[in-house]
C-alpha cells in the first residue's frame, strides 16, 4: 500500500490532505472556509480528534488522531444499526467512509451554491501516518507554516484560515489545543519553535504544486 494511502486505524495519528481538481478552488469566499470546518466536525467528530489544520484556496492539510476502537465500533453500531463484527467489517473502511461523506457533502454544497458540476477534490484523500515524536512536532509546525510557504502571508499567524492563532487564545475550541501546547512545553515555547525558518527538506511533508 502506498504510504499516502495508508489505512486509518484507531488511536493512530495522521497527516491528511487533499487538493482541488485542476485549477479549481476549494474555497471561493471566506464563508466557505467556515463551512468546510463545520462539515469536517459534523462528519468526523465521532471517529477523529483534530490537532490542527491549514486551509488554502486550492488545498488543505489536517493533523488528527483517530479515536479508540471502542468509540469507533460504538459509532458504527449506532449508525449502521447492527453489531460490529471484525470478521465481516473493516474498521478502517468505516473510518474512511466518514471522511468520504465529509468531502462529498462539502462538494455537493459548493456545486449547488456556485452552479458547478462534478468532482471538486482529487479522487482520494491522501494520508500519512505520524510515525514518531519528531514527525508529530514537524507536521504541526509545517501545517502552521503552510500559508507562509505558499506566499499567502509573510508571517505565521497572519493567515486567517489555519489554526495557529487558536493555540495562543483561551477561547473555546474543538481542537486538541491543550495537548499540543503541553507537547511543546507551553505557549511561549510553542511560539518560539514556530519562529524558525521553514525547511521542507527536514520532514517527509507531502506538498502540492
Give the 3-state secondary structure of residue 121: strand
Q: Which three cell numbers stand for residue 102?
A: 465529509
Q: What is the pLDDT of residue 207?
A: 54
Residue with cell string 502540492:
208
Other Cβ atoms less than 10 A from the Cβ of 104: the count is 15
The domain 13-202: what is its CATH number? 3.30.70.1290
Can you tell me the distance from the alpha carbon of 75 to that of 32, in angstroms, rounded to the nearest whole number?
A: 28
Can you tell me the distance from the alpha carbon of 112 to that of 96, in angstroms, rounded to the nearest whole number?
A: 24
Residue with cell string 488511536:
11
Compute the mean pLDDT over every residue in the chain, rounded to the nearest whole number.
Answer: 93
Can you tell me the distance from the alpha carbon of 126 to that of 183, in angstroms, rounded to the nearest whole number?
A: 25
Asked if pLDDT for residue 109 goes beyond 60, the answer is yes
Are the C-beta atoms of residues 203 and 138 closer than 8 Å to each other? yes
Lowest mean pLDDT among 91-95, 99-103, 174-178, 194-198: 194-198
Are the C-beta atoms of residues 53 and 163 closer than 8 Å to each other? yes
Domain ranges of the chain: 13-202
Output the pTM of the full model. Answer: 0.93
Q: What is the pLDDT of residue 118?
A: 95
**Cβ-proximal residues to 195 (8 Å cutoff; 6+ apart), any chain:** 156
Q: What is the pLDDT of residue 1?
A: 45
- Mean pLDDT calculated for residue range 193-198: 89
Are the C-beta atoms of residues 165 and 157 closer than 8 Å to each other? yes
- Mean pLDDT calculated for residue range 38-66: 98
Helices (H) then strands (E): counts for the chain: 7, 4
Can you tell me the distance from the alpha carbon of 31 to that of 33, in angstroms, rounded to the nearest whole number?
A: 5
Asked if pLDDT for residue 2 goes beyond 70, the answer is no
Q: For residue range 157-185, what is the model confidence (pLDDT) as tens digits?
A: 999 999 999 999 999 999 999 999 999 99
Are the C-beta atoms of residues 21 and 121 closer than 8 Å to each other? yes
- Distance set, CA 40 to CA 91, 98, 103, 118, 170 (Å): 19, 9, 8, 20, 22
- Mean pLDDT calculated for residue range 179-192: 98
**Cβ-proximal residues to 59 (8 Å cutoff; 6+ apart), any chain:** 17, 18, 19, 20, 26, 208
Q: Measure the CA angle with vertex 54, ends 201 and 204; round to 5°.
A: 20
Can you tell me the distance from the alpha carbon of 209 to that of 64, in angstroms, rounded to the nearest whole number?
A: 23
Residue 203: band (very low, low, confident or very high) from pLDDT cuts 50, 70, 90: low
- Mean pLDDT calculated for residue range 17-28: 96
Amino acid at each position: 500500500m502506498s504510504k499516502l494511502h495508508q489505512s486509518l486505524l484507531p488511536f493512530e495519528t495522521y497527516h491528511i490532505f487533499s487538493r482541488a481538481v485542476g485549477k479549481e478552488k476549494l474555497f471561493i469566499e471566506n464563508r466557505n472556509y467556515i463551512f468546510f470546518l463545520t462539515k469536517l466536525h459534523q462528519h468526523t467528530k465521532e471517529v477523529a480528534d483534530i490537532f490542527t489544520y491549514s486551509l488554502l484556496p486550492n488545498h488543505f492539510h489536517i493533523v488528527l488522531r483517530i479515536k479508540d476502537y471502542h468509540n469507533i465500533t460504538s459509532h458504527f453500531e449506532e449508525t449502521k444499526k447492527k453489531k460490529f463484527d471484525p470478521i465481516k467489517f473493516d474498521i478502517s473502511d468505516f473510518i474512511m467512509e466518514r471522511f468520504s461523506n465529509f468531502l462529498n457533502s462539502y462538494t455537493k454544497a459548493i456545486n449547488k451554491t456556485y452552479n458547478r458540476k462534478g468532482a471538486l477534490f482529487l479522487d482520494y484523500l491522501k494520508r500519512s501516518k505520524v510515525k514518531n515524536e519528531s514527525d508529530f512536532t514537524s507536521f504541526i509546525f509545517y501545517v502552521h507554516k503552510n500559508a507562509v510557504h505558499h506566499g499567502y502571508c509573510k508571517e505565521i499567524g497572519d493567515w486567517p484560515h489555519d489554526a495557529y492563532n487558536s493555540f495562543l487564545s483561551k477561547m473555546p475550541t474543538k481542537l486538541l489545543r491543550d495537548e499540543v501546547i503541553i507537547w511543546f512545553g507551553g505557549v511561549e515555547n510553542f511560539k518560539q519553535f514556530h519562529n524558525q525558518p521553514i525547511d521542507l527538506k527536514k520532514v517527509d511533508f507531502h506538498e502540492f504544486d
